[in-house]
Structure 1
Amino acid sequence: MEAWSTFGHTVLDPQGAMLDLLTVRGPQRQEQRLRVWPNHGSSDNGGATEEAIEDASRSKRYQAFDAQFDQEALAEARSWYQKFDASHLPRGSTTYARSSGPGGQHVNKTETKAITVFAVKELLSMLPKSLHSAIRDSKYYPASNDSLTFHAQTHRSRTANTDENRMKLTEEVSRVYREQVPSETSGDKKKRHGEIEKRFHESRIKQKKLASSKKQSRRGPLD
Structure 2
Amino acid sequence: MDSPPLHLIIPIDFSTATVTALRLAHQWSLAYPLQVSMIHPYRLISSIQGQHTTGQEIKSQIESDCFKKFGKLEAQLDFTIPHAWELKLEPGFLQHIIGHMTIPSSEHSVLLYPIRMQHADGDTETIESLIYSTDIPILMIHEEYDSAFAPKAPHTQCINPLRQQDCFPQDFIVQLIQKPHTLAMVYDQDKASKQFIDFLDSISPNMANFN
In the superposition, the TM-score normalised over structure 2's length comes to: 0.20
Greater relative contact order (Cα < 8 A, sep 6+): 2
Q: TM-score scaled by structure 1?
A: 0.19
Look at both structures and tell me which one has the larger radius of gyration over its CA atoms.
1
